[in-house]
Chain A
């Protein structure tokens, strides 16, 4: 089995990453009852013996998978944490996940990037190029067979967009064979950062050029989803309170790590009240993104009757090299054990996944053209359920002329934590050009007046032509999508197949 390394950059990236590792541990704990370090764990974690007297940290304390029956000693995440200010990473290292990250797995600076892409990309990119490169190289060497990098960052800030795309460029050069999946959080319309359109457009060019697959997300959709779920759950609060208390009583074992109902791991060594909420404000939203990543990788980690590896996802859903932006939607929507939307059935799950409200980006895919669509099912669902629902959904969706059966399906038998079955839908859809169009407009509003430009141009290495190039790249991308739509609706007769004249 192959391994994946996550690169978490900036505040947003690190917070999402933090939730991701939390949920990954929980998922594997539920599946792996015997505490054995098997192949599926090794995709994300390393097994390390902390008592070994190795002087160099990265050597000889590593325990390989072997036959898959070695006991777990101490798990380390295959992750690199990067930030230009210390606060977030320190928070993580003080929190319950500090054992999962080694003290040499992160790179931080002090002053931050000031919401400035140029500072992040040029200044910090150059300053930390070597150390980040070293760190990634060490992590890559510890993998038997590295499949992909997961890069998590935001597009609106300075570190995430600037340094994040510098790192992306670096790994594209150093590791051309390894897939690069990017989870990018786009700024919403009511974003609080003024220069976010600049950062976004400048980063988009790098994503278009160097990423294999981008899954754009925005905060606005996540907030809506969370609100929707919580409003439904308020009604069922009273029944939940009882289960809360009794389950916490059961798990009150001081020597074990507690997992409370809000899916946050809290160590029970010092805390007497097992119900203490240590949830941070963005946690629910980040949980959704973390779930999306877990579902994406589920079929490559666990067995199933129709496996889908990560390279297959990129291969099937990206018909043209630059058009690799995939909309994601999850069903059922799940924040934590206590707080989620109960799904009424499999049919409901499928039809929800295509609704506008379930998308993780503000978009309506049903009204636009599909280039390809991937469905990753987990849990107690069978092939006939899948086929039945595809046939039902097909008439409601517009697929492009030359890809009328453009479905990529996957079945994984291991369900997600707390759900009997779940679905991740990844679509390559032309509605994304609307999102790009909004960003472009906001960019233009500022650029026309040359507002805030001097902050960028005074950074060493930054040229003002980069602005026009990035803008052009975004424009071209939007035109590509648009052309596909117009070509599809035109009634050109298909070119006749070649015939051999005998």
Chain B
């Protein structure tokens, strides 16, 4: 079951590239431990894993060249040209890329009302051709930022388009949120309008923030104190996070619609679609060699991350009140060798104590899911980590942040700042902004007050 990645805007294209880099390096650079008992078993495991991964994300041409199943969209040509020009172990198809000249000017309405409609016919064809190359298409992964013009505006347009044209294909958006100290002055408006659209159209929204990614990168690169963190480093972290949930699991196989199941379980209700992605451990390559991991501690760290709303296993606040973060649903992805037979199931069942489950786990109130935690696992280690655990959670954390951002957008709107920049494009009026605000004042209670 294949996944087509749709990369929109500078951010989307850059993270899409790193995502594919991570997958390829994970598959091709894996060297099993020589001293491993039962080496044959692990080689076979690796082979199956790589094969499934290649089928899911890449297509082969007749000449044996590997092409990524990806569509690259941007409103100006520099970023896409740079990506296409790179010669690596896999390539992006040049015919799958679409660029215009002028960019979207950091303006959601320019991206949505002007640029995107211009490109619809061409991109419709591209996506159709790419989907025909897949044996079975199971989902779209849309990578975009929420602050710029192309990522937010064109991204919203194409999410809507994909939902309309491929109604039965799972649609997951990976949205990157800029630095909270300000990267683009229009970021709050763009965020509001994008979230408004995506909430209706998308199946699941994975939110990633530059702030937290920056901290994680710093930690990963802490071995080298003089190194300045670049956007490449941040994008590598995103690539690692996304790949950790998208790579094959032993409960999945080529016939099952893996992503659909994951998202379907995580987002049971249309009002609750915001997902947080956390990974433990995250450390520098040099440190990994000298560390040992135990599943027990990884599970414990993840749980604490969920309780405190943290993002990194360093500097966790232990002993804080468990009632801070209420959770709807949780999926864990465990990759690596088991130390003992039933280790995972034991840990999973004991993940939450009954007290927490009754007070803070909302699914009980829905009365639908008996199991609060869904576990996906694979024995093959992921991306150089002997054992790693990813947690995709549907909880309150993003809602607090969103509330703050909408507050800021509201203040700007009350001063009528920048509104003329948005309404000057046909198809957009002040009412659109007002509607977006009102929508969030009605769904705000659902996340924060249950």
Contact = CB atoms under 8 A, between A and B. Distances in A.
B179 to A, nearest CB: 6
Given A2-B102, A147-B102, A402-B417, A315 B186 contact: yes
A317 B421 CA distance: 11
B185 A499 contact: no
B411 A494 contact: yes
Nearest to B417: A319
Nearest to A382: B228
B103 A383 contact: no
Interface string A207-224: 000000000000000000
A455 interface: no
Contacts of B401: none
Interface in A103-128: none
Contact of B230 (A39, A305, A394, A405): A305
Interface string B208-239: 00000010001000000000111110100000
A145 B100 CA distance: 10
Contacts of A407: 181-185
Interface string A400-412: 0111111111010
A500 interface: yes
Given A1-B78, A312-B103, A498 B441 contact: yes
Interface in B397-428: 406-408, 410-412, 414-418, 420-421
Interface string A274-307: 0000000000000000000000000000010111
A391 B181 CA distance: 7
B415 A402 contact: yes
A318 interface: yes
Contacts of A145: 101-102
A403 B417 contact: yes
A341 interface: no
A497 interface: yes
Contacts of B230: 305, 382-384
Contacts of A305: 14, 230-232
B79 interface: yes
A502 B442 contact: yes
B350 to A, nearest CB: 40
A144 B101 contact: yes
Nearest to A405: B182
Interface string B22-52: 0000000000000000000000000000000
A311 B105 contact: yes
B183 A315 contact: no
Contacts of B412: 402-403
A406 B188 CA distance: 10
B327 interface: no
A361 to B, nearest CB: 21
Contacts of B102: 2, 145, 147, 309, 311
Contacts of B65: none
B180 A307 contact: no
Contacts of B421: 315, 318
B184, B232, B410 interface centre (most CB from chain A within 10 Å): B184
A253 interface: no
Contacts of B416: 320
Nearest to B75: A309
Interface in A394-429: 394, 401-409, 411
B438 interface: yes
B82 interface: yes
B437 interface: yes
Contacts of B159: none
A394 B234 CA distance: 23
A2 B441 contact: no
Given A384-B229, A387-B179, A401-B411, A315 B107 contact: yes
Contacts of B185: 316-317, 319, 372, 403, 405-408
A498 B76 contact: no
A147, A306, A401 interface centre (most CB from chain B within 10 Å): A306
B201 to A, nearest CB: 21
Q: What 5 pairs across the A-B complex have the smallest Cβ distances?
A: A405-B182, A407-B182, A311-B105, A384-B229, A319-B417
15 contacts: A306-B10, A309-B105, A315-B149, A315-B186, A315-B418, A321-B420, A382-B228, A384-B214, A387-B179, A390-B181, A401-B411, A407-B184, A498-B434, A499-B441, A502-B442
Interface of A: 1-2, 39, 144-145, 147, 303, 305-307, 309, 311-312, 314-321, 372, 381-385, 387, 390-391, 394, 401-409, 411, 487, 494-495, 497-500, 502
